[in-house]
Amino acid sequence: MKPIPFFLEAKNSSKLGETTVGNALLSSNQNQLWGERSSEIDTIVIHFMSDRFRHPRVPFKQDHLISIFVEYGVSSHYLILRNGTVLNLVPDSKKAWHAGGSIMPEPDNRTGVNDFSIGIELAGSEQKPFTQKQYRSLKSLLVQIKNRENIRSILGHEDISGERAVSLGIRQDCKIDPGPFFDWDCIGGKKLAEEKSSSAKK
C-alpha cells in the first residue's frame, strides 16, 4: 500500500465537485491546511470521519470527506477510504489540524497534540464496522511511519480529547472517535504514553 499524494493545498488541481481542491481552498482564503511543527513526531492519533449528517446515504464518499476539511479548515495527514485507498493529505513534516483541544493521557500530559503527532482518519462512524481493507492499509501505513519516526504512542482521538480534556477545560465537546467499532487488537493494541518513560531511558 502506497499513500497517494493528495495534499490539501492551493496547487491541488484534483476535481472536487464542480471545482478543484485548490480553488475550493482559495475561495475560503486558505493556501494549505497545515502549519509548521515545533516538536519531533512521537505520536499517532487515529480518528474516524464521515459525512453522515449531510449525506446519510453516502457518508464515506471521498469528495464529501475532502469537503469537510476544506469547509472547516481542519486536516489530517492521512485518510483511509472504505476500499483501503490511502490519501496523503498533509506532509508528515507539517503540523495537521486534527487534534485541537487535546491532552495526552497520564503521565505524559502534554497538550497541543497536533504539534508532535501524525493524524490518520478512517472513513467510518460509530454505526458501522471498519472494513478489512482499511485495517490492512492502516497496518501497512503504521509500519511505514514507524520506520521513519520514533513513535511512542498510538492512540485514539477519544483518548486525548475525551472527558478528561473537557473536565480540564481544554475543550467543550467530547470526541468519541475512532469509537467502539475500532479493533485495536487488529493493529497490535493501543500504545499509551506510559511506555514513554522506559523508551526514553535508552
Q: Is the dihedral of CA 88, 93, 97, 99 positive or negative?
A: positive
Q: How far is the CB of 157 from Zn ion (least distance, A)?
A: 3
Stretch of residues binding Zn ion (CB under 5 A), selected from 15-23, 68-76, 164-172, 176-184: 176-184
Of 157, 160, 165, 182, the one binding Zn ion (CB under 5 A) is 157
Note whether 77 binds Zn ion by CB under 5 A.
no
Instruction: Find, among 142, 172, 177, the residue nearest to 49 by Cα.
Output: 177
Question: Binding to Zn ion by residue 115, rule CB under 5 A?
Answer: no
Residue 95 lies near Zn ion (rule: CB under 5 A) = no
- Give which of 66, 85, 82 is closest to 21, Cα–Cα: 66
Least distance in Å: CB of 11 to Zn ion? 26
Least separation, in Å, of the C-beta of 76 and Zn ion?
A: 8
80 forms beta bridges with: 86, 122
Q: Which stretch binds Zn ion (CB under 5 A): 53-61, 137-145, 153-161, 183-191?
A: 153-161
The three cell numbers of residue 15 are 476535481
Closest CA to 176 of 200, 159, 158, 163: 158
- Residue ranges binding Zn ion (CB under 5 A): 47, 157, 177
